[in-house]
Amino acid sequence: MERKAILIGNSDGIGLATTKRLLAAGWDVTGISRSKSSITSKAYHHNVADVSKGNYPDLLTKLISKNTINLCIYFVGIGELFDPSDMIYEPKIIDTNLTGMVRTASIVIPQMVKIGQGHFIGISSVADELLSAEAPSYHASKAGFSNYLESLALAVKSKGVYVTNLRFGFVDTKMAKGDIKPFMISIEKAVDHLETCINKKPFRYTAPKAVIPFIKFRKLMMKLIGK
């Protein structure tokens, strides 16, 4: 049976590498990003759209009404360093990272529930556990992202639909900002973990595992120094 996937935010980084990996594995892939795609394959169909714009829900509804989608992955994520004198990016980051994902799930998941099968994966971050003076909206968007996805996983499991919250530490893309990037993994390693999630369908998955005790230690330090 030909497997069909729709990938949101796949013109660069982890999304682009995953697109290539799924095509190589024989999937039919539909992509959505603000930029055009460099991929030329009969099994690949690209759409230019911005998840924060008004025409996105109609486009997504049209695309999934044409095909039975087995897998949907939401990669879209933006982040800007906080500027207390100009907070113009703050609502945009929440809208793109969190509301954009909820908009996507609210269109894709009812389709999957209708046919009693499907898998929705959202790319979150271990930032979901940490407060941040450098990027408060990014951390808050991922905190809401993880909570929503894991609750959704509980809500639709009995309908034959799987939801996975994949929380990455640093991955070597243009998005990995900051001087220190502990336990950073390559894009290809990140896609290996994503393939494990596609096969095993966990409701929560953190990678690399080495980052888990590191985050616990940071939280403890933040509590102790009251920062």
Ligand X SMILES: NC(=O)c1ccc[n+]([C@@H]2O[C@H](COP(=O)([O-])OP(=O)(O)OC[C@H]3O[C@@H](n4cnc5c(N)ncnc54)[C@H](OP(=O)(O)O)[C@@H]3O)[C@@H](O)[C@H]2O)c1
| Residue 13 makes contact with ligand X by CB under 6 A | yes
Among 27, 44, 89, 170, binds ligand X (CB under 6 A): 170
Element containing residue 171 per DSSP (H, E): none
SS3 letters across 48-110:
ECCCCCCCHHHHHHHHHHHCCCCEEEECCCCCCCCCCCCCCHHHHHHHHHHHHHHHHHHHHHH
Among 18, 19, 33, 70, binds ligand X (CB under 6 A): 33
Query: What's the CA gap between 89 and 68, in Å, rounded?
Result: 36
- Interface positions, 67-126, toward ligand X (CB under 6 A): 75-78, 96, 123, 125
- In whole angstroms, the minimum distance from the beta carbon of 152 to ligand X comes to 17
Is residue 89 part of the annotated active site? The answer reads no
Task: Name the catalytic one among 138, 148, 162, 205.
Answer: 138
- Nearer of residues 75 and 158 to ligand X, judged by Cβ: 75
Q: Please give the Cα distance from 58 to 183 (Å, whole number).
A: 40
Interacting residue ranges for ligand X, rule: CB under 6 A: 9-15, 33-35, 50-52, 75-78, 96, 123, 125, 168, 170-171, 173-176
